[in-house]
Amino acid sequence: MAIPNSENGDSAAMVRGGRKRKRRDAAPEPGHRSFSTWRTESIEKRYSSKLLEALRRIRNDAAEPRGNGAVRDAADRALAVAARGRSRWSRAILSRRAIKLRAVRRRRQRGMGELPRSLPHPIERRRRRRRSELVQKKAEELGRLVPGCRKVSLPALLEETSDYIAALEMQIRAMSVIADAVSTAGGSSVGLPDRSGSPSTG
């Protein structure tokens, strides 16, 4: 699998003002190292153990089965934690629950029927229409898919998306390994999956 040259990201950072290049670790620039970071063994292991802890908690706490919303939630939160606050999408995921609780509480206080509204920014839209309208539409669609990126500039959106995609692919790899391991172990303790994730026959 070809790993894209990081030079593209560097030139973009340089044009943006060079400042961010010096403080790589502190600066929120996910796009830079997205491909390589999310592919290391260590991050996948870290993610897997976090997820396992969460799964154990779900299993132990649930008096009644919770439905797979809990697992999906846990998987996403663990993924956001693995991002270490360096990306907008991860921060958005971590604040999801807080926002939902706040909204539920507010709705209860004011009575049902009051939904949170998000108004589009008409001024932003007018400026962006100078870029192709189709590109803008597609960018909005993409912004709805990446957490926390609905009103983000196009370059930032593209950076977040690169990082988000790499993270999702890692999430899928890790969850597949866990699912295979659990299903294999559930049947018999012999025949553990090897590190590549494929269960051995039996």
Binding site for another protein (CB under 8 A): 1-2, 4, 8-9, 11-12, 15, 31, 35, 45, 48-49, 52, 55-56, 58-59, 65-68, 70-72, 75-76, 127, 130-132, 134-135, 138-139, 141-142, 145-146, 153-155, 158-159, 161-162, 164-166, 168-169, 171-172, 175-179, 181-186, 189, 192-195
82 or 159, CB closer to another protein? 159
82 or 178, CB closer to another protein? 178
Token pair 């939902």 in the structure block, residue: 100
Q: Which long-range contacts (CB under 8 A, 24 or more apart) does 118-127 make?
A: 118/150, 121/151, 124/151
Who contacts 200 (Cβ-Cβ below 8 Å, separation ≥6)?
Answer: 184, 191, 192, 193, 194
H-helix segments, the chain: 7-15, 19-22, 34-37, 41-61, 69-82, 88-110, 122-128, 133-145, 154-187
- Least distance CB 45 / another protein (angstroms): 6
Token pair 């209860």 in the structure block, residue: 108
114 or 153, CB closer to another protein? 153
- Least distance CB 112 / another protein (angstroms): 29
- Least distance CB 71 / another protein (angstroms): 4
- Least distance CB 28 / another protein (angstroms): 16
72 or 100, CB closer to another protein? 72
107 or 140, CB closer to another protein? 140
Mark 85-108 as b/e (b = at least 16 C-beta within 10 Å). Answer: ebbbbbbbbbebeeeeeeeeeeee
